[in-house]
Amino acid sequence: MQQQAVVQEVGRVIEGRWQWELVWRRDRFQWEHDQYNELMEIIALFVPVDTADRWLWLGDGTQGFTVKSAYLRMENMVTIRRILEPVQEFVFKRLWKCAVPSKVRAFVWQMLLDRVQTKENLFKRKILQADQQLCLSCGVKTENVVHLFLHCDWVAKVWYKIMGWLGFCLIIPSNLATSFAMWATCSTNKKEKAGLCLIWNAFMWTVWKRRNDLVFNNVAASVEEVVDQIQAVSWQWFIGRMAKGPCLLYEWNWSPMDCMRR
């Protein structure tokens, strides 16, 4: 958008009505559309007056702009949105407590917001063509976050293998937030809950790395190889961040729930 421009340079009066003529430096990302619509709703009510431009902060009617007033205004906007999405509120609150590396938490956070570079998102940013969106694992459906991590036939096999390893079976839900919430609440034991959240994160991280290896290096891993990687990665995180006593890899592979309860 035009930086340092005054109002008269970004619009004009047409038939007695002000019309904005904003020029953007680039195409908007998919996740920026809501912000753009909010901006246009705010400035749509603008009526030009014959005075010099000046900055006016509406967040605090007494002190003018302060960092505190801006923070409180943003917090209020986020809170209003989260009231409408209780599952997402629970997930984002719980995610940052997971005993996994910070880079993994950051990746999963982006994934839950649909901001990772799937083929669908790259197409929306005009980096890929329409015929380049197919998932490489199945070659049938468009690669978006829900398909890649939940609904692809290939990844579904990995899910069922991991659930069999843990000794329970859950349905594969329609979205990622519900998936996390199901795993975070399917046990009443506090240690097991923490361990299952860790494994869920290890699953997402490993599947994403495997996907990138397939896309960039043309290296395909079998379901069994990915399951082994998830078990190994989750064990490394567990012994480094959660374990209160010894837990060997073969013990983790044999009975992870027992290791969690120690």
Q: Give pLDDT, residue 69.
A: 82
Give pLDDT, residue 10: 86
Name residues whose C-beta falls within 8 Å of residue 43's C-beta, 6 or more positions apart in sequence: 20
* Per-residue model confidence (pLDDT) at position 84: 46
Spatial CA neighbour of 118 closest among 135, 137, 95: 135
Q: What are the angstrom distances between the C-alpha of 41 and each of 23, 34, 58, 126?
A: 17, 11, 15, 26
- Structural domain boundaries of the chain? 7-82, 86-261
Give the position of tokens 């506090």: 190
pLDDT recorded at residue 82: 54
Using the structure block, give the residue that is written with the tokens 């753009």.
36
pLDDT of residue 78: 64
pLDDT at 1: 67
pLDDT at residue 79 in the model: 59
The answer to whether 98 and 234 have CB atoms below 8 angstroms apart is no
pLDDT of residue 70: 83
- For the segment 100-147, what is each residue's pLDDT rounded down to a tens digit? 999 999 999 999 999 999 999 999 999 999 999 999 999 999 999 999
Which residues in the chain land under pLDDT 70?
A: 1, 61, 78-84
Chain centre distance of CA 195: 21
Report yes or no: 120 and 142 within 8 Å, Cβ to Cβ: yes
